[in-house]
Amino acid sequence: MKHTTLTSLIVRVAGLLTALILVINPAAASELQDEYAAYQEAAAVGDLHAALPHAQRAYELGLEQFGEDSINAGLLALNYGQVLCGITHFRQAEDVLRRAYTILQSSGGAPEDRHLAGYLLSIAEVNYGDVGDARTFVDALRLEALEDFGTVSMEHAETLYLRALTVIRDDFRHAPRRNRFRRRYELLGSTARRERTSNIGRGYIDQPVEIRNVINRADQDISHAENILSQLGQSDSELAGRLALAHGQLRMWSYFYEQAVTYFDQALRILRARPFTDDDLMEAYSERIFTAQLLEDADTVEQLALEAYERGQQRCDGGSVVIFQTLPPFPPDVDQFSVRWTRVDFTVNAEGRPENVELHDGWDRNPQVAVEALAQFHFVPARSNCQNVATTHGRVTFVIRRWL
């Protein structure tokens, strides 16, 4: 979401080819139909890298044949923007999807197509970094979904998920970016609970109230969306898998690791069943492995790390995915109600190992332990054109807190 990868949405625009054939000459229709069919064929099996040039060419042909303000041009822009989102080219996707949304809104396109364009546009904005504006847009989109589709619809569930995602992306800075890796680890200590001071703390009550409120808001949206999917008989849909992943992340950030395991296992069960591997599945593997590490379940760590590496090698595109992480020890000299932090920069080579690990900045008495911990991370390498590639840049932030 993603993190989110949106491959399943790519085949939702229906009836387009018939409309095209009726209004353009046979030669132009044939070329456009061939490009569109090639795009659909590649998208149906999750090969978005192969789908991209065909989606782009179909969009260009549509602009030539129908003009920039036609519904057909809007639908073709929607197709192209979906693929760009799916391969995390969010900046380019934002421009294309903004055009698609404007055309479909002004030309009276079908409500489901208008909603999908807006949903994907918000995904692009959230992942590209314009989270504040996206959150406002998502609230407006949610009202549109309620008006057009009612309270029990896939569109409403999708928008609730997206609103929760804006919280996760903005407040937890966990957004995946193309050829970049960003993650923040919180080490929580409590003087009142000595068992928590040696490593990662557990305890929702130890968090500041503003953080708990953020988590609660996102949790309510996710739970509401899950209830909608249950009513629709869609509890095993791809959206349900993404919701389970987000739910697990919220539980993990609340230090309820056993609950997080349940949600991550649910996400893996659903997302594994699809015929392709994408960033949602890889993120679910990464989070489940990390919870197993925190719970000292070495067998699960080894099993899932091997499985994640094999599935990651099946991708044609995608960023680096961490499958083993070593955290620095909780320092014994942290004062009550204090916060320390260290940011570490690195790159990931084509074999999935960190290189060029160095301190970026921070406020800690011994930042070198964070550098040493990061050097021991293991990754599934980034992929491009179905080949392993080096990730251009990564940054990890270790935050050390003691509230009690």
Tell me the pLDDT tens digit for each residue of 173-199.
444 443 455 666 665 543 333 333 233
Domain map of the chain by residue range? Answer: 7-170, 179-207+255-402
Kindly give, in sequence order, each residue whose CB lies less than 8 Å from that of residue 80, ignoring residues fewer than 6 positions away.
Answer: 55, 56, 58, 59, 96
User: What's this model's pTM, rounded to 2 decimal places?
Assistant: 0.80
Overall average pLDDT of the 291-315 stretch: 92
Overall average pLDDT of the 27-44 stretch: 85
Percentage of the chain exceeding pLDDT 70: 77
Tell me the pLDDT tens digit for each residue of 74-125.
999 999 999 998 887 888 999 999 999 999 998 888 899 999 999 999 888 8
Average predicted confidence (pLDDT) for the chain? 80
What does the alpha-carbon distance between residue 219 and residue 260 come to, in Å, rounded to a whole number? 13
> 179-207+255-402, what's its fold?
TolA/TonB C-terminal domain (3.30.2420)
The Cβ of residue 212 has, within 10 Å, a number of other Cβ atoms equal to: 14
What does the alpha-carbon distance between residue 166 and residue 1 come to, in Å, rounded to a whole number? 10
Would you tell me the crossing angle of helices 154-172 and 209-231 to the nearest 10 degrees?
A: 160
Parallel, antiparallel, or unpaired for β 354-363 and 338-348? antiparallel
Residue 264: which of 286, 237, 284 has the closest Cα? 284
CATH homologous superfamily of domain 7-170? Tetratricopeptide repeat domain (1.25.40.10)
CA 199 vs CA 149, 196, 288, 384, 400: distances in Å: 47, 6, 18, 36, 10
Determine contact, residues 66/23, Cβ cutoff 8 Å.
yes
pLDDT tier, 367 (very low <50, low <70, confident <90, very high otherwise): confident
**Is residue 20 predicted with pLDDT exceeding 60?**
no
